[in-house]
Structures are given as C-alpha cells and as structure tokens.
C-alpha cells in the first residue's frame, strides 16, 4: 500500500493566510475526499499539492520518504482542474496517444462515446469533454490523482460510472477528490476532510457536515 | 513519460507561436532584403517586441491548457523558454540566409 502525507502547507495572498494548518493523508485502496464551502482553498490546496502553485512551505511524503522536489517535478501526480484543460483542437486519438491510453478500454467504460475517436475535443459536449479528461487523468501512470470537481457536468449514470472507475483505479493509485456534489464524494471516499478557513478537519459522519455549516439540517 | 512524447508535446505547444511568428519573420525578412544590414538592429527589436506580444496573447488564451502540459511533465517556463529560443533561432537563420542571398 502506498501512502502520501501532505503537511505543513502555508500559503498566503497578501497578509491573509489561505492555507495554514493542513495535514492530509491519502492512500491506495481508499480514495480521500476534500469538502468545503466556496473560497475556502480546496482548488488552491490541490494546485499546491500538484506543484503548479508555489507555497511558502509544503511537506509531502511518500511512504514516509520526504520529497525534495514537488510531485509535479517527480511526475508522480496528475491533476484534473475544475475547468476543461485539453487543447481545443486536439483529437481524442492524439490525446489518448499522449497519455498512452487504450481507446478500447475507454469504450468498455463509456460505450456511448464510441464515435469520438477521430473527433476534435472542442466538438464534444460538456459532459463528454469531462469524461474524456477524467478518464485520461484516472488512467495515466502517475501515483497521485487530484480530481477537482469530477462529477460536475455529468449525468447521474455517467457519475456512477466515473465513481466505479475511480474505485477500480484506487486499488493501485491514490485519489484526492473534491466536489460540491458531496454525496458522490462521501459514497466513494473512505476518508473525508473538511477544509475551512485554511485548515482541515477529518470528518466521520454526514451530520458533521451539517454542524460545520456545509449542509442544511432539513435535507 | 518518454522523451518522444515530451518532444511531441513541445511541438504541439510551439504550434501556437509558429504561425504568427512565421508571418512576422516573412515580413521582417522582406524589410531586411529591402533595406540591408543597416536595418538589422531595428528589425531585431521588432522581432523581440512581437514575441513579447505573442507571449501575452497566447498566455491569456491558453491559460487552461497549461494543465495539459503540466500533466505531461512540462512547466510553463520550460515551454516558453524553448519556444522563444527556437523562434529566435529560426529568425536569425532566415536573416543569415537572406544576407547571403542579397
């Protein structure tokens, strides 16, 4: 089992600390969820872990070994941002070649997208674009997968297939997932952290989300 | 990530700069042929100015796409350093060819 520990992350914009008290552990076989209200720093934390946003301090350990370089430089991490990030003109065939992925396997998960092989990314619908990106990130070779809002834009059936894909891949890869569609996150994640005012707290029950002001009690 | 795929990805990124930079190169070479070596310093600075302009425009348009390259081990600084270096190299090579041809 591989374990990634993320700690001592400090990041501030001006005088305000956006991230200050972070300790998150993620491991293979148990996807980890990250929940929080808008503007609390979920995407920022993911970018810091990914390595595209430099922090004042950050400590990342893989299997108790502290990394000297960022996960990005080590090529141990893949990141699904909350927006579409594939080049608009790229064909699905080219993108799959870049990520070294099998289109046949993709079709076995998403048979409805059989016709997309030679099409350009910008001609796909919003949901189809998201599925292609999620699949590419989940199936790429890196150890840690950071998924920022993977369930947004997906139909309920697509979200279910994506959940199954994440669970299947999580046996050998580490997942950190954030999404406001928190039911999906709670459904597949063994451990869930709540991010508020720059620090994280591990939560154990759905009721805690109500207590923390993330959900309403009358739901 | 193999070197071949990384190289392919670099050239995919470089395509964004290639066409506008090629148009500028053709125009500047035509000016160079017309006015000769005396104009070189001016067209060199024009070339630098156009590259800065292209950097600002492409950077704004392709902001989201950087994550595609990040996910393949490229970072923004490396992509732009290599792209601009290659572009300036092509420009200098074209000027040398024009100078010999004149």
* Nearest-CA distance A72 → chain B (Å): 7
* Nearest-CA distance B13 → chain A (Å): 9
For residue B1, list chain A residues with Cβ-Cβ distance below 8 A.
75, 141
B3-35 and B76-101 helices, crossing angle to 10°: 40
Q: Is any Cβ of chain A less than 8 angstroms from the Cβ of B7?
A: no
A64 band by pLDDT with thresholds 50, 70 and 90: confident
List pLDDT tens digits, range A30-59: 999 999 888 888 999 999 999 889 888 888
B24 band by pLDDT with thresholds 50, 70 and 90: very high
Nearest C-alpha neighbor of B5 from the set A96, A85, A79? A96
Contact A163, A184 (CB under 8 A): yes
Per-chain mean pLDDT for chain B: 93
pLDDT value, residue A106? 96
pLDDT value, residue A217? 64
More confident residue, B101 or B45: B45
| Rg of chain A in Å (alpha carbons) | 17
Average pLDDT over residues B23-51: 94
Residue A185 and residue A151: Cα distance in Å, rounded? Answer: 9
Residue A83 and residue A88: Cα distance in Å, rounded? Answer: 12
Say if residue A173's pLDDT is above 60: yes
Per-chain mean pLDDT for chain A: 90
* Partners of A13 in the β-ladder: A16
Q: Is any Cβ of chain A less than 8 angstroms from the Cβ of B63?
A: no
Average pLDDT over residues A168-180: 94
Among A24-33, A68-77, A196-205, top mean pLDDT goes to A24-33
Residue written as token pair 């990005």: A72
Q: Is any Cβ of chain B less than 8 angstroms from the Cβ of A212?
A: no
Tokens standing for B45? 């600075």
Report the share of chain B in percent with pLDDT over 90.
87
- The SS3 of residue B90 is helix
Average pLDDT over residues A154-162: 94
Residue written as token pair 């207590």: A211
Contact A75 B8 (CB under 8 A): no
Q: How far is CA A23 from the centre of its chain?
A: 17
Say if residue A19's pLDDT is above 80: yes
A198 band by pLDDT with thresholds 50, 70 and 90: confident
List pLDDT tens digits, range B41-87: 999 999 999 999 999 999 999 999 999 999 998 999 999 999 999 99
Contact A141, A113 (CB under 8 A): no
Average pLDDT over residues B8-29: 95
For residue B12, list chain A residues with Cβ-Cβ distance below 8 A.
87, 90
For residue B65, list chain A residues with Cβ-Cβ distance below 8 A.
85-88
Say if residue A213's pLDDT is above 90: no
Q: Which helix (H) or strand (E) holds A219?
A: none
Residue A152 and residue A200: Cα distance in Å, rounded? Answer: 23
pLDDT value, residue A96? 96
Contact A83 B64 (CB under 8 A): yes
* Nearest-CA distance B102 → chain A (Å): 40
Say if residue A155's pLDDT is above 80: yes
Label residue B8 exposed, middle or buried (CB < 10 Å: 0-12, 13-18, 19+): middle
Residue B61 and residue A60: Cα distance in Å, rounded? Answer: 32
For residue B79, list chain A residues with Cβ-Cβ distance below 8 A.
none
H helix intervals, B1-102: 3-35, 40-61, 66-70, 76-101
Q: Is any Cβ of chain B less than 8 angstroms from the Cβ of A50?
A: yes
CA angle A160, A162, A167 (to 5 degrees): 95
Q: Which helix (H) or strand (E) holds A130?
A: helix A126-139
pLDDT value, residue A66? 85
Q: DSSP class of residue B71?
A: T
- Phi then psi dihedrals of residue A75, to 5 deg: 55, 40
Q: Is any Cβ of chain A less than 8 angstroms from the Cβ of B8?
A: yes
Q: How far is CA A218 from the centre of its chain?
A: 29
Residues whose CB falls within 8 Å of the CB of residue B83, separated by 6 or more in sequence, listed in order: B10, B13, B14, B17
pLDDT value, residue B1? 58
Nearest C-alpha neighbor of A52 from the set B62, B83, B75? B75
Distances (CA, A) of A192 to A179, A204, A209, B34: 12, 7, 10, 69
ipTM over 0.85: yes
């Amino acid at each position: 089992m591989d374990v990634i520990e993320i700690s001592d992350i400090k990041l501030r914009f001006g005088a305000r600390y956006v991230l200050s008290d972070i300790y998150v552990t993620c491991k293979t076989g148990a996807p980890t969820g990250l929940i929080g209200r808008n503007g609390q720093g979920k995407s920022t934390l993911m970018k810091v872990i990914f390595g595209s946003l430099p922090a004042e301090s950050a400590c990342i350990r893989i299997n108790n070994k502290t990394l000297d370089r960022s996960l990005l430089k080590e090529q141990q991490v893949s990141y699904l941002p909350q927006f579409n990030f594939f080049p608009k003109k790229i064909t699905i065939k080219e993108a799959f070649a870049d990520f070294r992925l099998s289109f046949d396997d993709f079709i076995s998960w998403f048979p409805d997208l059989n016709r997309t092989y030679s099409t350009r990314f910008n001609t796909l619908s919003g949901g189809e674009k998201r599925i292609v990106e999620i699949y590419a990130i989940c199936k790429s070779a890196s150890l840690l997968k950071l998924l920022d809002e993977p369930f947004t834009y997906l139909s309920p059936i697509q979200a279910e297939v994506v959940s199954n894909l994440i669970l299947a891949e999580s046996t050998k890869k580490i997942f950190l997932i954030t999404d406001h569609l928190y039911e999906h996150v709670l459904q597949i994640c063994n451990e869930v952290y709540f991010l508020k005012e720059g620090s994280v707290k591990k939560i154990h029950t759905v009721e805690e989300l109500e207590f923390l002001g993330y959900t309403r009690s009358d739901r | 990530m193999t070197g071949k795929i990384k190289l392919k990805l670099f050239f995919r990124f470089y395509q964004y700069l290639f066409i506008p930079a090629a148009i500028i190169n053709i125009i500047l070479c035509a000016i160079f042929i017309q006015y000769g070596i005396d104009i070189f310093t001016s067209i060199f600075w024009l070339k630098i100015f156009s590259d800065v302009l292209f950097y600002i425009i492409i950077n704004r348009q392709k902001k989201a796409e950087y994550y595609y390259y990040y996910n393949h081990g490229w970072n923004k600084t490396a992509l732009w350093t290599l792209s601009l270096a290659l572009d300036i190299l092509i420009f200098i090579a074209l000027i040398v060819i024009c100078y010999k041809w004149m």
